[in-house]
A and B are shown apart, each in its own frame.
Chain A
Amino acid sequence: MSMRSTLETLERVNSKYLMFHAKTSDTDPGDARFLFSAKDNLTSKDMETCAGSRILEGYFPPFDATVIARMREAGGKLIGKTNMDEFGFGTFSTNSGLEVPRNPFDLERACGGSSGGSACAAAVFEDHPSLGVSTGGSICCPASFCGVYGIAPTYGRVSRYGLIDYGNSLDKIGVLSSKAGDLRRYINIIAGRDEKDPTSCVQPELKDERTPVRSVAVPKEGVEGLSKNVEAAFTNALDELRRMGIEVETVDMPSLKYAMPAYYVLATSEASTNLARYVGMRYGRQDGDLSLKFDDYFSDVRSRYFGDEAKRRILLGTFTRMVGYSDRYYSKARQVREVVIDDYKRVLRDHDAVLAPTMPFTAPRFDDISKMSALDSYKADYLTVPANLAGVPHLNVPCGYDGDGMPIGMQFVADHWNENALFTMAEDWEKEFDLRRPEVSA
């Protein structure tokens, strides 16, 4: 499909899948070398940026995120801002205050989240890199549900300037695509130091080289609680890896089960401070009743335009950092993070990557999601959260399909700054794996 025909059919394709909140109306690619899309929490001068929240409706940022600027400089044309859970708060993109993207393999099912629209776009469009953001698994989860490759690089590898924050110590910008080679290509474009984000300035150089994975560790804790079809696909994938000459060893990583509570404490603590700035002034929704006192004014705006999950996380995060509780929760969670990092370091001394399924089940149906409690959906992230908490790079590769044809993914985790192992793994796997593309008709 040419760039022009992609642009010409954009409107129709989007009305079917709802992957974009804002999108270009251009039908002429001009001198663009490639088309790309970006999660809607990455600021773009020319497109409304809402991070999935109604409270930001009408926000046209005065600046481009560094990643978007770098993609544009490399000849990319931004075609749309992808739908997501509000501020990244979710696993299925159903916590969006705007549109909920639909799974390209079954419109009745979710794309995963929170970068659901990005995974959807990567699956639907050919040759289409989409920028996603992962805080607790928001790249690998939707990549798994939509059957595409997706990488979240090491924390600090890619500048977060222009990212609308969820949890600043956890947020990582990465790439999703149906082509394994795109991960290397586009991470190399967006990575590197940026003086506008000090946390990006301590990274070692990302060299363009092949680093084959020779041995993987599969944690016992990572293969518990899986659905039958995921377990079966994963077992087959392990056989395939052995056939490729990769050593597979089962290991213990006892810290992984503590990662989940620690993650939710840290992420919500930070999120509750990040969301404090949305008071109905200066940008986004500003249509509150100005005759009210300031406290009442912003409480009213926030009550009306934040979704339930945003409110839940603000309350959780405010609680965990209160005087008298912060030692028990916030400080403790930071200690747990260190323990999890140590556990990865220990295992990665003897192995090139840690491997487990990405999600314990395939993309659920919307009606099933509506029956899940908040806690149920938090729990669904138990396989993706530990690597995110540790800030180590991780990769989803499609590894099979269930009886309904829904994609199944597995997640490789490498050591800090070793994205090359993941790029190489994805490229080698792509040669062996028969990737299915969804049938796209618009």
Chain B
Amino acid sequence: MKIGLEIHVQLPTKSKMFCSCPTTEAPGPNTHVCPTCLGMPGSRPVLNRKVLEYGIMLAKMLGCKVADTAWFSRKTYFYPDMSKSVQITQYDNPIGEGGVYYLGDKPIRITRIHVEEDPGKTKRTGDLSSLVDYNRSGIPLAEIVTEPDMKTPAEAREVLKSLIEDIRTVLDIPGDGERSIRCDCNISVGKERVEVKNVTGLKNVEKALTYEVVRQSKILKAGGKVDRETRRFDEERGVTISVRKKEFEADYGYIDEPDLGVYHIREMAESIRIRESPQKMAARMAGQYGIDQKMAKQLVNTSVDLAGLFENVAGKHGTQAAVKWVAGPVSSNWKSLDASGADVKGVIGIIDRFVAGEITDTECGIEIKCLMTGEDPEKAAEASGDLDKIVSDYLDQNPGIVDDYRKNEKAANKAIGFVMKSSGGRYSSSEVVDAVKRLIESRL
């Protein structure tokens, strides 16, 4: 089985690709529009250069060869939401070609990446009528095309998930749910390739592909032949439906876009530095600090900033301190940062004081937690004192746990379970886990 993906990602520019309309949430349908994105006769495109920059960043992230010159082409097709009936895209000279993306150790070859404009949206309002909203018309997109290197629908989903995470970090796009990911999925169980167009979201990609695996396998088992065709995914029914056979494939009659010139982007490409992608960062951290893959991934996946803090502390006080504090209480309280709005960099000062012997192990844990949650340190100390006391008492009574912990960290679970139960929900599980681990480790 072979699976290849064509992934569409909206680029985070402030204005549209060929006009100055904003790309932000619009107050209503057809409010972020102008003569250019409505395709009014006499209007003309002017390129937003930021689009080329983002295209280059993605091409670099994917290890593609970046083109020295860029130009655009016209793809002609008739659809109500395509205002000019012409999409400005890149055809014979994508901004990047021939890259590789690694999912762990597995290479997924990248055929090409190009930039183009998004059409508007058509909304069916009844059997006989549709409405068109052009707010999306002209929003810049990158299209990433992979080789058919994925072997299962689950793997395709994994690749897509991690790729999207990387793209968000490198382009600094806020997480906006998986709905904004649009994908054309190519899948061949036998020889013939079937394309499922415009699937939205990770789950649907996996569902659509799985449906195709079953459908194509059945046909092949029965001795039939799979038609080479384009299909679409019906989200509600969870099935794919034939749209057109290969012989009716559209001929888009590409020509170069004469209103936009040739852009010499070599210097621009050379000057662009990109952020390390989360997958690469996790792999590097595991090697550099000798921590296991799982911890590195967990740090990076929680937040690239958390991983950055880990590196900062490890650089200053060694990996052990970073594992103990950053992968410990900082990581487990990470989510509360949103509510407290605290500056997590303050953690470094606390750890400095611990390393200098100014505060104890317990105090350090409490201060970090309070900084992150915004809790009152005294109350927390009191509560934690109580918690520490419960844990210590238990460990005093059950010294075997510390010995068992040396062989298998899971031994701590017994103590955790006891404390959770006996404290009657006064402490969160992460607090209990932290306290138990910290106190066991202090007895090792």
* Partner-B contacts on A (CB < 8 A): 42-43, 49, 51, 56, 59, 61-63, 65, 160-165, 167-169, 195-199, 202, 269-270, 272-274, 276-277, 279, 281-284, 290-291, 294-295, 298, 318, 321-323, 326, 330
Contacts and interface: CB of A to CB of B under 8 A. Distances in A.
Given A49-B42, A164-B42, A294-B78, A277 B260 contact: no
A281 B83 CA distance: 9
A326 B251 CA distance: 11
A283 B40 contact: yes
B80 A294 contact: yes
Given A43-B41, A198-B46, A326-B253, 10 more contacts: A49-B42, A160-B259, A161-B42, A161-B43, A195-B46, A196-B44, A196-B46, A283-B41, A322-B253, A323-B251
A56 B42 CA distance: 12
Please indicate which of the listed interface residues B42, B46, B251 has the most CB atoms of chain A within 10 Å of its own CB: B42
A164 B41 contact: yes
B interface majority secondary structure: loop
Contacts of A162: 42
B260 A198 contact: yes
B41 A51 contact: yes
A42 B78 CA distance: 25
28 contacts: A49-B42, A59-B41, A62-B35, A63-B42, A160-B44, A164-B41, A164-B42, A165-B41, A196-B44, A198-B47, A199-B259, A202-B261, A269-B255, A276-B78, A276-B86, A277-B39, A277-B41, A277-B83, A279-B80, A281-B80, A282-B39, A282-B40, A282-B83, A294-B79, A321-B253, A321-B254, A322-B251, A326-B253
B74 interface: yes
B222 to A, nearest CB: 34
Contact of B258 (A62, A65, A168): A168
B228 interface: no
Contacts of B40: 61-62, 282-283
B39 A199 contact: no
Interface string B192-216: 0000000000000000000000000
A218 to B, nearest CB: 32
B128 A277 contact: no
B84 A276 contact: yes
B239 interface: no
Bin chain B's interface residue count. 20 to 34
Interface in B298-319: none
A196 B47 CA distance: 10
A65 B78 contact: no
B15 interface: no
B85 interface: yes
Interface in B244-297: 251, 253-255, 258-261
Contacts of B373: none
Contacts of A279: 78, 80, 85
Interface in B59-103: 74, 76, 78-80, 83-86
A273 B86 contact: yes
B411 interface: no
Indicate the member of B35, B83, B132 with the most A CB atoms within 10 Å.
B35
A62 B33 CA distance: 12
B253 to A, nearest CB: 4
A273 B77 CA distance: 9
B407 to A, nearest CB: 68
B38 interface: yes
What 5 pairs across the A-B complex have the smallest Cβ distances? A276-B85, A169-B258, A168-B258, A43-B42, A321-B253
A157 to B, nearest CB: 15
Contacts of B255: 269-270, 273, 321, 326, 330
A62 to B, nearest CB: 6
Contacts of A164: 41-42
Contacts of B35: 61-63
B88 to A, nearest CB: 11
Majority-rule SS of A interface residues: loop
Contacts of A168: 258-259
Given A43-B42, A161-B44, A291-B128, A198 B261 contact: yes
A168 B258 CA distance: 6
A169 B38 CA distance: 22
Nearest to A302: B78
Contacts of A63: 35, 42-43
B76 A276 contact: yes
B86 A277 contact: yes
Contacts of A169: 258
A285 to B, nearest CB: 12
Nearest to A197: B44
B29 to A, nearest CB: 14
Contact of B85 (A49, A277, A326): A277
Nearest to A293: B128
B41 A273 contact: no
A270 B74 CA distance: 9
Contacts of A51: 41
Interface in B91-147: 128-129, 132
Contacts of A196: 44, 46
B31 to A, nearest CB: 15
Contacts of B46: 195-198
Contacts of A276: 76, 78, 84-86
Contacts of A272: 76, 253
A199 B254 contact: no
B405 to A, nearest CB: 68
A165 B85 CA distance: 14
B176 to A, nearest CB: 29
Given A273-B76, A276-B76, A279-B78, A65 B41 contact: no
Contacts of A298: 78
Given A168-B259, A198-B260, A294-B80, A273 B253 contact: yes
A28 B185 CA distance: 65
A199 B261 contact: yes
A163 B42 contact: yes
Interface string B29-58: 000000100111111101100000000000
Nearest to A201: B261
Contacts of B258: 167-169, 199, 270
A198 B128 CA distance: 41
A56 B253 contact: no
B85 to A, nearest CB: 4
Contacts of B83: 277, 282
Contacts of B261: 198-199, 202
B137 to A, nearest CB: 11
B77 to A, nearest CB: 8
Nearest to A59: B41
Contacts of A283: 40-41
A295 B78 contact: yes
A207 to B, nearest CB: 24
A198 B85 CA distance: 21
B443 to A, nearest CB: 72
A148 to B, nearest CB: 26
A365 to B, nearest CB: 33
Contacts of A56: 41
